[in-house]
Amino acid sequence: MPWEEVRSEMVGEKGLSPEAADRIGEYVQLHGGLDLIERLLQDPKLSQNKLAKEGLGDMKLLFEYLTLFGITGKISFDLSLARGLDYYTGVIFEAVLLQQENDHVEEPVSVGSVAGGGRYDGLVGMFDPKGRKVPCVGVSIGIERIFSIL
């Protein structure tokens, strides 16, 4: 959804103040790589939040590994990505296929999401009688989407 629609829903339906929505909007419209993560680590608002610092530190480590593997050009840190399920407890991700570049197209065009998932440490514990947290990461693959693209 375009940011303006998301902002309208946050203010009109969810009761968030316009000022708070605008502050969120400053971040969710960002995407990039290690340079963005470095910039966010220096952000005075985010640097005061322990969880934000930890998450950005983890993203920095991930991008350092991606650099070692030579695949940073295939990965984007996109702060607008959201999943509608409230059991996620950490990073979420989405795999998107891009149409190959050719003479007629300057930039690759997205042909859609083919996988998504994330971290959900609290989900398994919901079924444990003792309520223990179990570290988990999961992914789902859109087989029908892949077949359609093929």
Q: What are phi and psi of 25, to 5 degrees?
A: -60, -30
The structure tokens listed for 32 are 């990039």
- Orientation of helix 34-41 relative to helix 50-69, angle to 10°: 160
Measured over the CA atoms of residue 63, residue 68, residue 70 and residue 71, the dihedral's sign is negative
pLDDT in tens, 97-136: 877 666 565 666 667 789 999 988 888 888 888 888 889 9
Nearest CA among 24, 57, 64 for reference residue 42: 57
CB 67 within 8 A of CB 35: no
Taking the whole predicted model, whether its pTM rises above 0.85 is answered as: no
Domain spans in the chain, listed from the N-terminal domain onward: 82-149
